[in-house]
Structure 1
Amino acid sequence: MVTVNEAKQKIIANTEVLTSMSMKPSESLNYVLFQDVRASISLPSFRQSSMDGYAVHDSDITARGTVLEILAEAKAGEGTMQVLPPGAAMRIFTGAPVPEGATAVIMQERTTRTGSFVTIEDFPVTPGRNIRSIGQQIMKGSIALPQNILLTAGAIGFLSGLNVEEVSVYRKPKIGLLVTGDELVQNGSSIRHGQVYESNSLMLRAALQQEGVTDVEVLYAKDDLRATIDALDELAGRNDIVLASGGISVGDYDFVGEALQSIRAETIFYKVRQKPGKPLLFARRKQTLFFALPGNPASSLVCYYEYVLPAIRKMSGRSDYFLRSVSMPIERGYSFDGERDEFLKATANQDVVIPLDGQESFALRSFAIANAIIYLTVNQNKVEAGDHVEVHLLPA
């Protein structure tokens, strides 16, 4: 049996970053850049007005109330370069090219128009006012986004504005999911006494989808050694990570551990000094990782967030493997006996973290409203209201 920290260290040490792949920026949300992206154009690529107003020569504005004749207008998308002679103004709109010769744009609210003339209420007017210079955001040839950055909605918009058609990103892992248990029935089917509806596969697929992992294959196996061996071997041949839900405890019909030995997967550790989720097994065969998760749904989801997710993130090129951890005061006291660390489903707000009722390993109702997990070590097995505890924030 290993400690929580030992388990995490062993997982990261045995996880390797995946290779790269190319994709359109529009499809790359939550992927990590494999290599730098350089700007093929400058942004802006022309002098651009940041305001609706009037383009002027700043030297023409000699006092508040200066009156200038309006010669023309410049609209966004203007294809020809206009020229503004001294002593005149040009109506201009946000995003429009600034005419040659103009050195400032006076915002519309600081002017008064009368027919073909405009009175400038600003003084003094500094050169460059309300003008976006060429390359103000980025110059052509510069690094637009560095490698290893996580691509967000803002990043995708930025790349699209640079006319980037393809980016090189770290591949996300392919996941194989094996569900075991003769008592499990698929949703929508009729159920007999002693049976339960299977929920772990849907729960884990949703958690994977939240991380942007969509290449997920699910197989089901009866509580039979040969069936378990065949299913694990089949999944291992096609996937980077294989998750087994159930069948890893010490019951007569728990075959996952024996099946992993049969397919020559090396067990890195079995059992973690924690509650819930003690019977977690982590194994490896060549580059494929195996996580045998407890069958109890809450235990399975805790183990996913604390152990599987970090491996997925490392494979995907991220450096922030683990859930974000913060220290927060706990709303009410909590204590436990024993020699295992505890993970508590909780809700966290700006002020406190609140442990929820229903901490049993089978109970998902509390997980349905949780946005955090409290981590208490055996050295902190009794906390009073207001004590600070370690809180792991769940993905939003």
Structure 2
Amino acid sequence: MVTVNEAKQRIIANSNTLPTVTVPLEKAGGGFLAKDVIAPIALPPFRQSSMDGYAIVHSDITQPGTELRLVGESKAGQVDLPVVNIGLAARIFTGAPVPDGATAVVMQENTSAADGIVMINEFPVPDGKNIRRVGQQIAAGAVALPAGTLVSPGAIGFLKGMDVNAVTVYSKPRIGLLVTGDELLKSGESLRPGKIYESNSAMLKAALNQIGIDSVTISYASDELHATIEALKALLEENDVVLASGGISVGDYDFVGKALEALGAETIFYKVRQKPGKPLLFGKKKEKLIFALPGNPASSLVCYYEYVLPALQKIMGSKEPFLRSVQLPIRHAYRFDGERDEFLKARVEGNEVVSLDGQESFVIGSFAIANALIYLPVSQNQVAVGELVEVHLLPV
């Protein structure tokens, strides 16, 4: 049995980023950049007005009510621009190029115009006011987005504005999910004595979709060694990461561990000194990662967040943690006995964290409203109201 920290260290040490692939920008969403993206042009590429108003020479304005002669206009996309010299002004619109000679833009609300003359009712007018400088957002040749950045909708819009049409990203992992348990019913089957509806596959698939993984293959195996071996073998052949739900404890019908051994998989560790989720197995078969998760839904989801997520973060090339850690005061006192660290389903509310009712490993209902996990090591087995605790924020 290993500690929580030992388990996480071993997982990261045995996880490697997936190969890279260059894809069209529109198909890169949800991936993580494998290379820095260098800005091919400056943004904006020309001096640009940030207001509807008048382009002027700022030093012309020596008092409120200064009058200037209009010499034309500049609208978005215009090429043939007037020149704004001393004593002159040009009508200008948001996003339009600033004419040569102009050093500021006065918003139209601070002006009045008639008969070819515009009166500037603002004073003073600083140099550069309401003008977006060339490269103010990004300079040509600068790193627009560093490696490890998520290709979000905002990132796509940013890069497309520089005519970047393809990027190199880390491949998204293919996930195989094995569900075991003869007591499990599939959706739509009639409920019978001794049976329960299987929910872990839908739960884990939703958690994977949440971080942009959509290649998830779900298989089922009866509580029998040969069936478990065959199901795991097929999943390992086709996927980068295999998650097994159930069948990893010490019961007579728990065959996942034996099946992995029969397939020649290496067990990196089995069992973690924690509650819930003690019977967690992490292993490898060549470069394929294997997580055998407990069958109890809450235990399974805790182990997914605490151990699978960090591995996925590394193999997907993310520079930002999928599970962020913060220190927050706890609203209610809490204590526990025993020699295992505890994870508590929790909600962050304002500037504090609240442990939820229903902490048992079979209770998944409290996870439905949880947005965090509280991590309490054995050394902190008694916490007072307002004491700072380690809080892991769940992905949203």
TM-score, length of structure 1 as denominator length: 0.95
The equivalent residue for 1:151 is 151
The equivalent residue for 2:297 is 297
The equivalent residue for 2:40 is 40
Whether the 8 Å CA contact 1:330–1:388 is kept in 2: the answer is yes
Deviation at 1:384, TM superposition (A): 2.4
The equivalent residue for 1:387 is 387
Whether the 8 Å CA contact 2:346–2:372 is kept in 1: the answer is yes
The number of equivalent residue pairs is 396
User: For the residues of structure 2 that align with 1:52 and 1:121, how far apart are their CA atoms?
Assistant: 15
User: For the residues of structure 2 that align with 1:326 and 1:101, how far apart are their CA atoms?
Assistant: 52
Q: Secondary structure at the match of 1:137?
A: coil
Which blocks of at least 5 consecutive residues in structure 2 are unaligned?
A: none
Q: Secondary structure at the match of 1:73?
A: strand
The equivalent residue for 2:50 is 50
The equivalent residue for 1:123 is 123
Is 2:242 the partner of 1:264?
no
Deviation at 1:221, TM superposition (A): 0.9
Letter in 2 for 1:45: P
Mark the CA change 1:386 to 1:123 in structure 2 (over 3 Å): closer, same or farther. closer
Mark the CA change 1:256 to 1:338 in structure 2 (over 3 Å): closer, same or farther. same
Letter in 1 for 2:394: L
CA displacement 1:160-214 (0-9 Å, x = unmatched): 2111111111122111000111111111222212111110000000111111111
Mark the CA change 1:58 to 1:348 in structure 2 (over 3 Å): closer, same or farther. closer
CA displacement 1:317-337 (0-9 Å, x = unmatched): 124446212222222222222
TM-score, length of structure 2 as denominator length: 0.95
The equivalent residue for 1:171 is 171
Whether the 8 Å CA contact 1:306–1:322 is kept in 2: the answer is no
Whether the 8 Å CA contact 2:73–2:82 is kept in 1: the answer is no
Equivalences for 1:362-377 in 2 at 5 Å? 362-377=362-377
Deviation at 1:304, TM superposition (A): 0.1
User: For the residues of structure 1 that align with 2:62 and 2:389, how far apart are their CA atoms?
Assistant: 64
Q: Percent identity?
A: 61
RMSD between aligned residues: 1.7
Which blocks of at least 5 consecutive residues in structure 1 are unaligned?
A: none
User: For the residues of structure 2 that align with 1:334 and 1:88, how far apart are their CA atoms?
Assistant: 73
User: For the residues of structure 2 that align with 1:366 and 1:218, how far apart are their CA atoms?
Assistant: 25
User: For the residues of structure 2 that align with 1:115 and 1:39, how far apart are their CA atoms?
Assistant: 45
Whether the 8 Å CA contact 2:34–2:147 is kept in 1: the answer is yes
The equivalent residue for 1:341 is 341
CA displacement 1:123-149 (0-9 Å, x = unmatched): 343432222222222222222222223
CA displacement 1:288-311 (0-9 Å, x = unmatched): 010000000000000000000000
Equivalences for 1:309-324 in 2 at 5 Å? 309-321=309-321, 323-324=323-324
Mark the CA change 1:380 to 1:86 in structure 2 (over 3 Å): closer, same or farther. closer
Letter in 2 for 1:114: A
Whether the 8 Å CA contact 1:65–1:120 is kept in 2: the answer is yes
User: For the residues of structure 1 that align with 2:388 and 2:121, how far apart are their CA atoms?
Assistant: 57
Which region of structure 1 is more displaced relative to structure 2, 106-115 or 316-325? Answer: 316-325
The equivalent residue for 2:187 is 187
Deviation at 1:56, TM superposition (A): 1.8
Is 2:2 the partner of 1:25?
no
The equivalent residue for 1:357 is 357
User: For the residues of structure 2 that align with 1:329 and 1:86, how far apart are their CA atoms?
Assistant: 62
User: For the residues of structure 2 that align with 1:74 and 1:137, how far apart are their CA atoms?
Assistant: 22
User: For the residues of structure 2 that align with 1:319 and 1:83, how far apart are their CA atoms?
Assistant: 48
CA displacement 1:98-145 (0-9 Å, x = unmatched): 122322211112211224321012234343222222222222222222
Equivalences for 1:97-116 in 2 at 5 Å? 97-116=97-116
The structure 1 segments of at least 4 consecutive aligned residues displaced by more than 6 Å after TM superposition are: none
The equivalent residue for 1:282 is 282
